[in-house]
Structure 1
């Protein structure tokens, strides 16, 4: 049976490849997986990350018009909220999956939930994809390509460690060795009742 992390990695790379067919931040995702499935959530998660990756590139253009930069910053803020919401959906999926597991009396609590580890794996897939491009970019110097190949090797080692850790965490939750506990992020900057800049304007 294929490990969860392997499936996630394949889906992330599928989303990245699909995005780069048009390579446009305004392209809508054509998620090929059944709605409400874990696969659908993983694809959607990485699509958000991929679009945001490129928005972060665009906003760093020194010649960007300030008004356009502000629009992109707003998009990035909204994207961060979508990303957080989707991570919590993925954690909810895992909570449902393991709801009948009774943790051991001495079960540990992990510092990171499965979905937040998956979030890091999604970003890592983007780093690997773009570093591989740089390692082969013909317009770059040999020194640049060499340094990027070294960085790519480190990223691939990190991928092996992270995927192993995710699968071990899921196995430990399933076996009752780790208690899955989720705290919602409760981001405050987008909430008109919690961000003082927003609620003071409403007076």
Structure 2
């Protein structure tokens, strides 16, 4: 089996496990061993899944403003954790391929493996929820038909993205592509880099 196939299976498991309780406060029950790539992938998708539902909640027009602010803070923290996990996953791949000598013709990739995996994780969530909408009995037939069409597009995107990820990893392994860990350097959560935060201390 390919890496993308295995990753997709982990994402589906995470999404199924979350929806057993369907609660943004439910604890993560990661079944994979410490230090494994699968554990990182599960944790990554769990964060994405919780954040997906936080984004739904915060869009309630009748939400209390103070609750919305708390949710926004939580989403910001979630984004930082998501970024950290992506970098951990990239570190896994670069450690795996560290002995590979790039070919003289090796090209640079605009995207690291883990950021492509990040998109695959989000795509798994889109497919899960679009499938729900395509089969929601309380919806109109027109709604279900439109969602079914969108679902077909998302499934085609899954096929293309999965192939691209597997090709990228194969090219890194054979030296046709070289890439590095590109840190996101997010500034808004950093007390020393966000002017709104550091001006409070002056």
TM-score range, shorter chain: over 0.9
User: In the TM superposition, what whole-angstrom CA distance separates every residue of 1:176-199 from its partner, at most 9, and x where no partner exists?
Assistant: 000022210000000000000000
Aligned to 1:68: 67
Are the equivalent residues in 2 in contact too, given 1:5–1:166 (CA < 8 A)? yes
Query: What secondary structure is seen at the aligned counterpart in 2 of 1:154?
Result: helix
Question: How far, CA to CA, are the matches of 1:184 and 1:159 in structure 2?
Answer: 26
Query: What secondary structure is seen at the aligned counterpart in 1 of 2:67?
Result: helix
Aligned to 1:156: 155
Question: How far, CA to CA, are the matches of 2:181 and 2:103 in structure 1?
Answer: 18
Aligned to 1:35: 34
Shift of 1:106: 1.3
Question: How far, CA to CA, are the matches of 1:152 and 1:201 in structure 2?
Answer: 48
Superposed, which structure 2 residues align to 1:72-91 within 5 Å? 72-91=71-90
User: In the TM superposition, what whole-angstrom CA distance separates every residue of 1:87-146 from its partner, at most 9, and x where no partner exists?
Assistant: 000000001100000000110010000000000000000000000000000000000000
Aligned to 1:47: 46
Aligned to 1:8: 7
Aligned to 1:127: 126
Question: How far, CA to CA, are the matches of 2:23 and 2:45 in structure 1?
Answer: 15
User: In the TM superposition, what whole-angstrom CA distance separates every residue of 1:44-101 from its partner, at most 9, and x where no partner exists?
Assistant: 0000000000000000000000000000000000000000000000000001100000
Question: How far, CA to CA, are the matches of 2:201 and 2:85 in structure 1?
Answer: 29
Aligned to 2:141: 142
Query: What secondary structure is seen at the aligned counterpart in 1 of 2:72?
Result: helix
Are the equivalent residues in 2 in contact too, given 1:9–1:122 (CA < 8 A)? yes
Pairing 1:165–2:169 present:
no
Pairing 1:191–2:193 present:
no
Are the equivalent residues in 2 in contact too, given 1:109–1:181 (CA < 8 A)? no
Question: How far, CA to CA, are the matches of 1:82 and 1:126 in structure 2?
Answer: 18
Aligned to 1:200: 199
Any stretches of 5+ residues in structure 1 without a counterpart? none
- The alignment covers a number of residue pairs equal to 202
Aligned to 1:23: 22
Question: How far, CA to CA, are the matches of 1:182 and 1:104 in structure 2?
Answer: 19
Aligned to 2:180: 181
Are the equivalent residues in 2 in contact too, given 1:113–1:181 (CA < 8 A)? yes
Question: How far, CA to CA, are the matches of 2:31 and 2:201 in structure 1?
Answer: 42
Any stretches of 5+ residues in structure 2 without a counterpart? none
